Homo-oligomer: A and B are copies of this chain.
Amino acid sequence: MPHTPAVEIITIGDELLYGQVVDTNSAWMGQELGKIGLRIRQISSVSDQAAEIVRALDEARGRAQVVLMTGGLGPTKDDLTKHVLAQYFNSELALYEPSLRDVEAIFARFNRPMLEVNRQQAYLPAACTPLRNTVGTAPGMWFDGQDGVVFVSMPGVPFEMKHLMTTHVLPKLKEQFQVPPIEHAVLQTVGQGESFLAQQIADWENQLPPNMKLAYLPSFGAVRLRLTATDDGQPDLRGRLEAQLPAVRALIGPYLYAEGEVTLEAALGQLLKERGLTIGTAESCTGGTIAQRLTSVAGSSGYFLGSVVAYSNQVKVNQLGVSPDTLEQFGAVSEQTVREMAEGLRRQLDVDVAIATSGIAGPGGGTDEKPVGTFWLAYADRHQTVARKVSMNRGRELNISYISTVALDMVRRHLPAAE
């Protein structure tokens, strides 16, 4: 088995250590590096103090052949990474003209005067290969270390880091390192907990060959399964990975909503598009979250027509045609109300299918009869209306997120073949 080059990611900044910012960069980088078959050994977040950055670099170079850094390249006083790297590689800062022109172009585009601190961003350690950044003011830096270890520094702004990774870093890594094959398959499931899923597929999992490993990636209401096959010296790794899939697909059955890195809302969008159906949402407790998720998908205007977020009873009556008697007799959080919301939305917006939610997301608003965490959902199409009650109380944010997942899954399961 050939040796897989190991990568370490170092994200720099006190804001990461103290949680003012969630590190989403390393997750994205890990995904992209994994796709080209590199092995991620460790991700570390350290303080933006010179001594801590140097310590992290020293440790990482002992464990990995590639060290990728993000952060600390901004124009302000607390951004130290470039100066630390200059010293680490014993190299003076020098003006890199192409980056100066990039910085000038950025300011010209936004029609703002350029500051001296921004001009300073085009000064880079002479020892590095500059990586031009045309979408921000901090260029990246590529260092070929003396012991064969590659060090790359990128800005912490996710948009700029992704630009540099895609344009410069990933292509250069592929060129410089030979990597053994690695294959992944991802199965997306929804509607069943991790333990039950595991039990259902246990026999299949136990018969997997030693070079294949299954990981469970649960999120609230959904579980992703990732099957990874590593090189065993035999040919056709991809084919052998895929040969394992039919059996597990059959075991998962209707809980499987997609394969690959596809969100539930994208998978549902695909179904709607294929079947030529339009959709709208009538949301109370989810407050627009289902609409937001549906419209996060590029091209969703092809099937998503619109929504009514009906937080107040007045909006439920006036915009959705819910009967005031229903609200009076059964309350806003009831099967009757949520059915009328779904049917009303479908009629008012003239969509093929509608989904409606009403519930008590918390922390306030609960009663003895209807405690926080009581939710009603209704699905309506031209043939039927279906309602469902869900109890779930794990805090406002997770409740809303979970109910929006249940809602999308409910549409997926009931969607007619075509209208």
Cβ-defined contact, A198 with B30, below 8 A: no
Q: With A42-B45, A159-B398 given, is the CB distance from A213 to B78 under 8 Å?
A: yes
Stretch at the interface among A9-17, A170-178, A245-253: A9-17
Which residue on B lies nearest to A296, using beta carbons? Answer: B397
- Contacting B at CB under 8 A, from A329-384, are 348-350, 362-365
CB pair A216–B287 under 8 Å, yes or no, is no
Interface stretch among A141-149, A232-240, A298-306? A298-306
Which residue of chain B has its CB nearest to the CB of A396?
B298
Among A30, A196, A224, find the residue whose CB has the most chain B CB atoms closer than 10 A: A30
B42–A19 touching, CB < 8 Å: no
- Asked if A76 is at the interface of the complex by the 8 Å CB criterion, the answer is yes
Q: How many residues in A have their beta carbons less than 8 Å from beta carbons of B?
A: 103
**Contact (Cβ within 8 A) B226 A15:** yes
Interface pairs A-B: 8 shortest CB-CB = A287-B295, A288-B291, A288-B288, A19-B27, A306-B315, A19-B31, A19-B30, A307-B309
Residue of B nearest to A159 (CB): B394
Interface residues of A (CB under 8 A from B): 13-24, 26-32, 34, 40-47, 52, 56, 59, 74-78, 112, 115, 117-118, 135, 137, 157, 159, 186, 193-196, 198-199, 205, 213-219, 224, 226, 228, 281, 283, 287-292, 294-296, 298-301, 304-312, 314-315, 318-319, 348-350, 362-365, 394-398, 400
A309–B288 touching, CB < 8 Å: yes
Q: What is the CB-to-nearest-CB distance from A366 to chain B, in angstroms, rounded to a whole number?
A: 12
Asked if B295 and A291 sit within 8 Å, CB to CB, the answer is no
Contact across chains for A28 and B19 when beta carbons are under 8 A apart: yes
Q: Contact at A19–B46, with CB atoms within 8 Å? A: no
Instruction: Decide: B295 and A117 in contact? CB cutoff 8 A.
Output: no
* A309 in contact with B295 (CB, 8 Å): yes
Contact yes or no, B31 A27, CB < 8 A = no
**Contact partners of A394 in chain B: CB under 8 A:** 135, 159
CB-CB nearest in chain B for A14? B215
Total copies of the chain: 2
User: Quick check: A217 and B31 within 8 Å, CB to CB?
Assistant: no
Do A292 and B295 contact each other (CB < 8 Å), given the known contacts A43-B16, A43-B45? no
Cβ–Cβ contact B306 & A309, under 8 A: yes
CB–CB A292/B289 < 8 A? yes
Q: Are A305 and B311 in contact (CB under 8 A)?
A: yes
Please name all residues of chain B whose beta carbon is closer than 8 Å to the beta carbon of A319 when the two chains form the complex: 306, 308, 319, 348-349
Measured between alpha carbons, how far is A137 from B46 in the docked complex, in Å?
A: 32
Structural contact, B115 and A199, CB atoms closer than 8 A? yes
A30 neighbours in B (Cβ, 8 Å): 16-19
A42 near B56: Cβ-Cβ < 8 Å: yes
CA distance A42 to B157 in the complex (A): 20
* Residues of B close to A364: CB separation below 8 A: 298-299
- The answer to whether A215 and B15 have CB atoms under 8 Å apart is yes
Rounded to whole Å, the gap between the CB of A389 and the closest CB of chain B is 13
B363–A298 contact, CB under 8 A? yes
Q: Which of B28, B41, B288 lies in contact with A295, CB distance below 8 A?
A: B288
